Amino acid sequence: MSIEINNESGVEVDEQAVQRLSVFALDHLHVHPDAELAILFVDEAAMEQLHVQWMDEPGPTDVLSFPMDELRPGTDDVLTPAGLLGDIVVCPQVAIAQAETAGHTTLEEMLLLTTHGILHLLGFDHAEPDEEKEMFGLQRDILVAFTLAEQPT
């Protein structure tokens, strides 16, 4: 996988953990190993600007996804074709506040947001109840499996 991570947020981010999670999630979703993904961490002002520009909504949000080649998940038998997945933009300042509210660590929130962004890049959505159930279930499955895989043996 070609995963480029840039942190322009001013907040320390465990980029190695985000990298490992991204590779894990893309493998889990049977995405071709030559697929390309970019992850950008930005501050609240930059995120608010993107949120207004692309979603026409005020204020910063936690994560935005910008799909490129409209790739979809593969299967056990057939990988997604190689291509540009797209860009994920995460705002660590928003993630910090959400982590406090949710009662988990900031890293856990950033991994959740990264997974959420990857799923959006692969065509998942949560506008309808059945879509939300599928997407959030898959998001939970990936995060649980990743956490278990990360535990020392």
The 10s digit of each residue's pLDDT in 72-129 is: 999 999 999 999 999 999 999 999 999 999 999 999 999 999 999 999 999 999 999 9
DSSP state of 39: E
Q: What DSSP letter does each residue of 58-117 carry, written as one string?
A: -S--SEEEEESS------SSSPBPSSEEEEEEE-HHHHHHHHHHHTS-HHHHHHHHHHHH
- How does pLDDT run across 52-71, given as a tens digit for each residue? 999 999 999 999 999 999 99
pLDDT tens by residue, 2-12: 999 999 999 99
What is the pTM (predicted TM-score) of this model? 0.96
Write out the two tokens for 151: 């535990």
Query: 88: how many CB neighbours lie within 10 A of its CB?
Result: 27
Contact present, 51 and 57 (Cβ < 8 Å): yes
Q: By three-state DSSP, how is residue 10 classified?
A: coil
Mean pLDDT of 30-45: 96
7: amino acid identity, one letter: N
Give the pLDDT of residue 61: 96
- At residue 30 the predicted structure's pLDDT band, cuts being 50, 70 and 90, is very high
User: 149 CB contacts (<8 Å, ≥6 apart)?
Assistant: 24
Task: Evaluate if residue 153 carries a pLDDT over 80.
Answer: no
Specify the pLDDT at position 138: 97
